Structure 1
């Protein structure tokens, strides 16, 4: 396996076209080479969205963590920058966040403003084999192009807690303080600071609430309005690490409640578990800070993998990618407030060609079949499910692969079945069928599906349910098949859009049909 520098030189010298790589996503961010996991340091500043991430520049498996770095002006087209931060005498650079210090509360910017990263330094306690995790700072005066470690690192530690990591920090204007949300093994802790350097404990949450099948990681906390009204509630995201006893692997849950700058109060019963994404491949999702308030949106992105098999996926010279950026909303359903999510509207700029159908009846014997030369697709379906029969959308390759997106009206269950999706034998937990309850609305369900070579993202009823899965078909997907398991189903409307690749070679956007395994 070449080193990062060797791989980068090879890419440059060969003029590598990422569109030729069999499993390289074409409109999801992935690293040019080597390992990627959790999104970190996500901040909007002077017209750029910064996406940093856990990165091992010398291997395609997890190792000494650095912060990789990419920027975008539109959340669609990304420019990969040099590694932002590398391990130093305090340890490796684990997950964390970044903010704009507009008022120079830190004193790093000579009265101006700039970027401050708050992250976990990870090493080992001296003369022991016990992991040590402490919170540290770095700052940038040049729009994130270079970073300096704070001389006073670390700024927060606790010798009594081993899993003490992943700080998410935000400025709470009404309280006039910085708030840190920190994962502490089996619960969340909140800290407050006036200057980002000196932190005071405020409260803790979660020891007896939500799911605890794995270690708690990568929290986030923010406020959203309910159905666009003046009523606002706070949302706390918490990711849960892999546990071999649970086939789901790593997932992300959320809580809804109130936060007064000191304490978070869950408005649901302690045993209520709400999942951000019911698929297998959306982990450590956190939001961008400092998106202008007038934009009126909270945008998140997640690591599109699962700790059950992340080190084994068959992608060759790179490993790991991000989900589509998503806008979060709160909405009330049957008296309960829940989270919904949809990809940012900017994704629609990738549409290349669009085909539409209406009032189509399908059966198992007479399905709808559409052949395509593109495996970059956006599919919109308005499906009448009152016949009571299971409906399936099959994404098929010319080989033996098919990924099924289905809905069972009797169980009110939306699912993905990737058991025959292609390469699945690299891990016994990968081939599976899984899903979530989805109630119909006025006798129908609406699906938005994005297919990106080795990725399927499904959003139902304006994002009330999301399913994100990786797939590794034996050949490019070239057929969309829609039919009923038994009986008949009605498609009120169907739109299939082919999409451009974001990977450009010599100024050309678009796909090249010949692909090789890399």
Structure 2
């Protein structure tokens, strides 16, 4: 059934508190914020103000707004900003969620060379909890833009869970996929794709091979065997194929079935090349 969308007016317009950057919204079903005494639970948006002047030298701060009518209208919290950076200019993109085990709101933020975690009982008062990434060499190039975090079950076991932290990068990505064998002959992905180039990563069901096709991968005329489809044998397990793919500005790494099949390739970027395995 087709879904119709109606464009509504801007929900939270910018003002003297600065521009509105990325953020997230939550349902405050227990009214921890105290914004909804009469109406019960409502929506709270948590977002970055860019160009804020509340504290000199700290233009990026976190603010909140609330809605009592299912997001149709919003009121900015009079106590904004609710969170300031300690020193960095890069302090943005709050993802917020409720953590049942601690009965606290959790915020993850993009902060220069890391992500930082904060906790709050009421969405207004935030305390630093921990950070991730700053002490890990070469983990990324640039800012951990728009981080997201969520929990998943492992192997459909309710007692085994993992937290997944994701972020946007213009030069690096990670793909974890599992395909169930059916009638298709090939499965896969096209990465680093533009109008005239692409790298294809996939699995060929008919001959049981993991492959990387770089016949259209950027500059291909500098090495005779670069323009090829490189393969590695790998059998499905329980009718499924698992792939872990790592892509950055110059390379593609593919691991099948937790390393049973491995292909590592380098793309030519701005004159830099390396060999393949």
- Normalising by the smaller structure, the TM-score range is 0.5 to 0.7
| Shift of residue 185, structure 1, vs aligned partner | 0.4
Assess if the C-alpha contact under 8 Å between 1:223 and 1:235 holds in 2: yes
Assess if the C-alpha contact under 8 Å between 2:51 and 2:60 holds in 1: yes
Higher RCO structure (Cα 8 Å, ≥6 apart): 1
Match in the other structure for 2:256? none
| Shift of residue 214, structure 1, vs aligned partner | 1.4
Match in the other structure for 1:412? 210
Where 1:89 maps in the other structure, the secondary structure is: coil
Deviating runs (4+, > 6 A) in structure 1? Answer: 400-404, 408-411, 416-420, 435-439
| Shift of residue 215, structure 1, vs aligned partner | 1.5
| Shift of residue 107, structure 1, vs aligned partner | 1.1
| Shift of residue 194, structure 1, vs aligned partner | 0.6
Change (3 A) 1:408 1:97: closer
Match in the other structure for 2:274? none
Match in the other structure for 1:114? 42
Pairs within 5 Å for 1:113-512: 113-123=41-51, 132-209=59-136, 211-229=139-157, 230-240=159-169, 242=170, 249=171, 251-252=172-173, 275=174, 277=175, 339-340=176-177, 381-383=184-186, 405=200, 407=202, 412-415=210-213, 440-442=234-236, 461=241, 464=243
Assess if the C-alpha contact under 8 Å between 1:122 and 1:131 holds in 2: no
Change (3 A) 1:92 1:231: same
| Shift of residue 203, structure 1, vs aligned partner | 1.3
Match in the other structure for 1:454? none
In 2: Cα distance, 1:189 partner to 1:404 partner: 34
Change (3 A) 1:196 1:402: closer
- 2:7 corresponds to 1:81: yes
Match in the other structure for 2:30? 103
| Shift of residue 84, structure 1, vs aligned partner | 2.2
In 2: Cα distance, 1:341 partner to 1:109 partner: 43
More helix by share: 1
Assess if the C-alpha contact under 8 Å between 2:133 and 2:139 holds in 1: no
Assess if the C-alpha contact under 8 Å between 1:96 and 1:167 holds in 2: yes
Change (3 A) 1:106 1:136: same
Assess if the C-alpha contact under 8 Å between 1:114 and 1:140 holds in 2: yes
Change (3 A) 1:199 1:408: closer
Assess if the C-alpha contact under 8 Å between 2:17 and 2:52 holds in 1: no
In 1: Cα distance, 2:83 partner to 2:55 partner: 21
| Shift of residue 436, structure 1, vs aligned partner | 11
| Number of residue pairs matched by the alignment | 224
Q: Which runs of 5+ in 2 are unaligned?
A: 219-226, 248-277
| Shift of residue 86, structure 1, vs aligned partner | 2.0
Pairs within 5 Å for 1:28-39: none
Match in the other structure for 2:273? none
Where 1:85 maps in the other structure, the secondary structure is: coil
In 2: Cα distance, 1:118 partner to 1:127 partner: 19
CA root-mean-square deviation: 4.3
In 2: Cα distance, 1:436 partner to 1:133 partner: 46
Where 1:412 maps in the other structure, the secondary structure is: strand
Change (3 A) 1:143 1:228: same
